[in-house]
Amino acid sequence: MAEDGFTGLVLAGTRPGGDPLALAEGKTNKALIEVGGQSMLTRVIQALRDGGASRIAVSTDDGEVASLAGEQGAVVLPTGQGPSSSAAIAFEKLGAPMVLTTSDHALLQGGWVRQLVSETPSDADIGIMLARREAIEAALPGSRRTYLRFTDGQWSGCNLFYLRTTQARAAIDSWQAVEADRKRPWRIARRLGLPTLISYALGKLTLEEGISRLGERMGLRARLIAAEDGRAAIDADTPGDLADIRALLRVDN
């Protein structure tokens, strides 16, 4: 399968009741928040194009976001009941290969997208980008993130996924199941398998091994892509995140 000509999918749905960060900024959706003189959605779309996407799709239920996406030549798709079902709708319509990200990934750069695509092995169905704690703290000293602890260090997600083959649909299906079971953690744990849980509990599991094993449980080949730039793990979840993003963009400019 060619490693170019992929679709870039941006998830830009609205939370029930509205997103607190968007509301604090006087917006109906986080995608519309301005940073560095542009909306976050505009920055994400441009980064995906710079990264090699031949087509951009935006999944949203917000009229203003849909209008903005259309002005930038993006395909506008409906949302589902949550991020995973929105991704499923888009994947069903547009298929693989697809790079999936979120509209609040305001620091996204084309180089990170290219790294994800180029470093996902040719025998993999999905590439998942995460960043080491050291890389994140080097980019943003004092940053407070949620980290996963493995024998090869502490890692944080980057909201960047390369759904390389049609088999990657299994990852979306599993994501939907996890969302459905979010109030029943024992079911989520069961999906990982007892050997993997034991290895993690004993501190004998690397992140690469964990992702590979999880992929096997889903019937696909999943691979870790370690972000070269720690900023790839910084998105706009909180007012503090938003302040950090704006400060980093001022430095870059």
Give the model confidence (pLDDT) of 108-165 as tens digits.
Answer: 999 999 999 999 999 999 999 999 999 999 999 988 788 888 899 999 999 999 999 9
Asked whether the predicted pLDDT for residue 188 surpasses 50, the reply is: no
Helix count and strand count (H, E) for the chain = 11, 10
Residue 2 in this model has a pLDDT that exceeds 50:
no
**Domain extent at residue 123:** 7-252
- Structure letter (DSSP) for residue 61: S
User: For position 183, what pLDDT does the model report?
Assistant: 42
Cα–Cα distance measured from residue 67 to residue 103, given in angstroms and rounded to the nearest whole number = 15
**Per-chain mean pLDDT for the chain:** 88
β 153-163/148-150 pair status: antiparallel
Phi and psi for 213 in degrees, rounded to 5?
Answer: -65, -40
Cα(194)–Cα(216) distance, rounded to whole angstroms? 14
- The verdict on residue 176 lying in a domain is yes
Q: Crossing angle for the helix pair 207-218 and 194-201, nearest 10 degrees?
A: 170
**Residue owning tokens 């087509």:** 55
Query: Is residue 2 domain-resident?
Result: no
Q: Tokens standing for 208?
A: 């690469």
| Residues β-bridged to residue 38 | 35
Which stretch of DSSP H or E encloses residue 48?
helix 40-50
Instruction: Tell me which of 65-79, 104-118, 170-184 is least confident.
Output: 170-184
| Residue 221 resides in a domain | yes
Q: Is residue 1, in this structure, part of any structural domain at all?
A: no
Kindly state the average pLDDT of the residues 178-197.
Answer: 49
SS3 assignment for 95-163: CCCEEEEECCCCCCCHHHHHHHHHHCCCCCCEEEEEEEHHHHHHHCCCCCCCCEEECCEEEEEEEEEEE
pLDDT score of 176: 66
Q: What is the CATH number of the domain that holds 63?
A: 3.90.550.10
pLDDT digits (tens, 9 = 90+) for 204-230: 788 898 889 888 888 999 999 999 999
Domain presence at residue 191:
yes
Let me know the angle formed at the C-alpha of 51 by 84 and 213, rounded to the nearest 5 degrees: 45
Phi-psi region of 4 (alpha: psi -120 to 50; beta: other; left: phi over 0): beta
Q: Which residues, 6+ apart, have CB-to-CB distance to 139 below 8 Å?
A: 229, 230, 231, 234, 248
Lowest mean pLDDT among 26-35, 71-80, 172-181: 172-181
pLDDT tens-digit series, residues 3-61: 458 999 999 999 888 899 999 999 999 999 999 999 999 999 999 999 999 999 999 99
Average pLDDT over residues 68-97: 96
The number of distinct structural domains making up the chain is: 1
The confidence band for 190, taking pLDDT boundaries of 50, 70 and 90, is: low
Rounded Cα distance between 156 and 24, Å, is 26
